[in-house]
């Protein structure tokens, strides 16, 4: 992860004399864990640095923090057992998006973007709550304590954005996990997510 951050910093430094624009954004995300079929909710916040390459083509390296969370219910009526699992995950992501923009009007610009995102899991926990015949209890598990769950992942995605007056941006995109994070041969574990958000441009 340190090498990835160093690469992003090098790109930014090399573009010191080029036309560039900083954006700070926040938004909603909806991760889906392939194979477990867990759909979570979440949010993200971060910054990117849009560097003009040629004409309407640009590249935007960035750094973003995200958190996702959700509850999955389960149980069985046979033994009067009810339960649920609440998942919480934190990530730092380094996107490197190439984008192409066109002016629709004087203060309105549309752009399409695509590229990889390198993400690293900071925390991943599951809190299990269960009740048996009226007796309840809970336990919390660190999912990264199991070495079979890889923290590093690479995603590829794209989307589109609208800029207004060169100061405000609304964006919508989708990322697809490319790496199997399950180190065993029991299945495939990948994370895809929809994201939409708002950013200020400087």
So where are the chain's domains? Answer: 2-201
Neighbours of 183 (CB within 10 A): 12
What integer pLDDT is reported at residue 129 of this predicted model?
Answer: 86
Output the tens digit of pLDDT for each of the chain's 202 residues. Answer: 555 445 545 544 454 445 689 999 999 999 988 766 677 899 999 999 999 999 999 999 999 999 999 887 764 343 344 678 888 999 999 999 999 999 999 999 999 999 999 999 999 998 888 876 667 778 898 989 978 889 999 999 999 999 999 999 999 999 999 999 988 877 788 999 999 999 999 9
First vs last C-alpha separation in the chain: 27
What's the CATH code, domain 2-201? Answer: 2.40.160.20
CA distance 23 to 90: 22
CA distance 36 to 97: 29
Q: Which residues, in sequence order, are CB contacts of 69 under 8 Å at separation 6+?
A: 40, 41, 42, 86, 87, 88, 89
Q: Are strands 168-177 and 57-76 parallel, antiparallel or unpaired?
A: unpaired
Which residues face 103 on adjacent strands?
Answer: 109
Residue where the block lists tokens 């690479």: 154
pTM for this model (two decimals): 0.84
What integer pLDDT is reported at residue 81 of this predicted model?
Answer: 47
Q: What are the b/e assignments for 6-19, b being 16+ CB within 10 Å?
A: eebeeebeebeeee
Q: Which residues, in sequence order, are CB contacts of 189 under 8 Å at separation 6+?
A: 33, 34, 35, 36, 149, 180, 181, 182
CA distance 111 to 18: 20
DSSP track, 67-126: EEEEEEEEEETTTTEEEEEEEEEEEEEEEEEEEEEEEEETTEEEEEEEEEEEEEEEEEEE
């Amino acid at each position: 992860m340190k090498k990835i951050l160093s690469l992003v910093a090098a790109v930014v430094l090399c573009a010191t004399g080029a036309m560039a624009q900083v954006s700070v954004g926040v938004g909603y995300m909806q991760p889906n864990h392939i194979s477990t079929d867990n759909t979570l909710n979440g949010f993200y916040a971060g910054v990117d640095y849009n560097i003009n390459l040629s004409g309407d083509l640009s590249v935007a390296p960035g750094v973003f923090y995200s958190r996702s969370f959700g509850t999955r219910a389960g149980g069985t009526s046979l033994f009067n057992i009810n339960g649920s699992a609440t998942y919480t995950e934190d990530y730092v992501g380094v996107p490197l998006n190439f984008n192409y923009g066109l002016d629709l009007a004087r203060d309105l610009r549309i752009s399409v973007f695509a590229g990889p995102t390198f993400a690293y899991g900071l925390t991943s926990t599951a809190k299990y709550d269960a009740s048996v015949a009226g007796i309840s209890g809970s336990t919390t598990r660190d999912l990264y304590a199991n070495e079979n769950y890889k923290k590093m992942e690479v995603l590829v995605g794209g989307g589109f954005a609208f800029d207004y007056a060169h100061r405000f941006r609304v964006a919508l995109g989708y990322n697809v996990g490319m790496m199997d994070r399950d180190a065993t041969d029991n299945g495939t574990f990948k994370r895809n997510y929809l994201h939409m958000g708002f950013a200020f441009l400087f």
